[in-house]
């Protein structure tokens, strides 16, 4: 594994966690949204991630066995959660049905906060991996200059 591959692995993790954090923030911001442009309450969203190869075009041509096992992470997509909506009796709410029931997204703010903490720790770990790779590269350059 070379320096750039190490950076690519860390960068893929940083990018995926940033997107995941955006989705969690969107969920928290819309936890009480009863009406969307699509109609109906907001649907909680989740991020689907998958591992992906980090082969450079040169690695692909050279078929380096060692680099075939290196994997990063990519966001496959953002998916709607299938949880049923919370139904709350609020007859004075503008979005209440004929029975006075309002449908809210089933978003647990505590669960979303735990997700944010997990994302934050994962982001920090990826940032530290990138920083460590940069430090190793800089030390190698200093050794070469001596």
**Tokens matching residue 111:** 């669960």
What is the per-residue pLDDT across 27-48, written as a single tens digit (0 to 9) for each? 999 999 999 998 899 999 999 9
Pairing of strands 71-80, 45-53: antiparallel
What is the per-residue pLDDT across 57-95, written as a single tens digit (0 to 9) for each? 665 555 556 666 778 889 999 999 999 999 999 999 999
Task: Give the C-alpha separation, 146 to 143, whole Å.
Answer: 5
Instruction: Answer yes or no: are the C-beta atoms of 75 and 47 closer than 8 Å.
Output: yes
Is pLDDT of 117 > 90? yes
């Amino acid at each position: 594994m070379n320096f750039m591959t190490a950076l690519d692995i860390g960068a893929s993790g940083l990018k995926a966690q940033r997107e995941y954090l955006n989705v969690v923030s969107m969920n928290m911001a819309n936890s009480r949204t009863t009406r969307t442009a699509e109609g109906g309450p907001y649907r909680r969203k989740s991020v689907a991630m998958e591992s992906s190869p980090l082969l450079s075009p040169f690695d692909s041509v050279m078929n380096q066995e060692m680099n075939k096992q290196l994997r990063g992470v990519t966001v496959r997509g953002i998916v709607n959660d299938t949880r049923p909506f919370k139904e709350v009796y609020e007859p004075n709410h503008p979005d209440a049905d004929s029975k006075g029931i309002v449908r809210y997204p089933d978003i647990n703010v505590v669960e979303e906060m735990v997700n944010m903490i997990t994302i934050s720790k994962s982001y920090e770990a990826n940032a530290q991996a990138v920083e460590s790779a940069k430090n190793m590269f800089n030390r190698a350059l200093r050794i070469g200059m001596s």
